[in-house]
Amino acid sequence: MQWPEFSTKSWRTCGKRPHSGYYWLAYSWENLLPSCIGCNRPDSSGAQRVGKWNRFPVSGKHASRPAEIADEQPLLLNPLRDDPAQHLEFDPESGRIIGTTERGRMTILVLNLNREGLKEKRRDIYESVRLRSQEAIGAGDRGDFKTVDRHLEFLLQHKSGQAEYAMAGRPAVGRSKETIRYMLQRLG
Ligand SMILES: [Zn+2]
């Protein structure tokens, strides 16, 4: 995969004329996304320059006018428009996120999604969700629905994707989906 260079070597020189920048999107709400520093800030300390910063890798050409934006094919996933599960997979063994599509792989590359700290955090989340899932199942078997109830909120937050690192937590709940469904029915 071609590494997306920083702005001066990418979209600014994409096409024949120098790119004027996405000036018409600067104040567009749909174009603004919250981000943590780790994903956004440019960092050249490693082997590869990482961080979103002002990079907009695309497949084909960058749009240089508002009319062209509909045909532009961004390679970074938009969390509001794209379903990450269609492009990314979590590996519980390594804690890594794996791209299953070109866009998934590019997003991992640019945001450095397997950077130090994230893999460990994801593994911890996976393990704690797995343990609490087991506890909930055990409690359900004993008829201790007060304990089940205490775990359910946490588990459902991962299942629904609301919890932080839910991509790592969700598969740990998924393994006991049938039991969770059963317990939910029991709880009414
Ligand atoms: Zn981030």
pLDDT tens string 49-60: 788 888 888 888
The dihedral through the CA atoms of 151, 154, 158, 159 has a sign that is: positive
- The mean per-residue pLDDT over the stretch 98-120 comes to 95
φ, ψ for residue 55 (rounded to 5)? -95, 135
- The mean per-residue pLDDT over the stretch 118-125 comes to 97
pLDDT at position 187: 59
pLDDT at 107 over 70: yes
pLDDT at position 92: 95
What's the 172 CA to ligand 1 centre distance in angstroms? 22
Where would I find the H helices in the chain? Answer: 37-40, 102-111, 118-142, 145-160, 166-174, 177-187
pLDDT at 179 over 60: yes
pLDDT at 67 over 80: yes
What's the 150 CA to ligand 1 centre distance in angstroms? 29
Q: Which residues surround ligand 1, an ion (CB under 5 A)?
A: 36, 39
Residue 30: Cβ within 10 Å count: 9
Domain boundaries, the chain: 8-111, 118-187
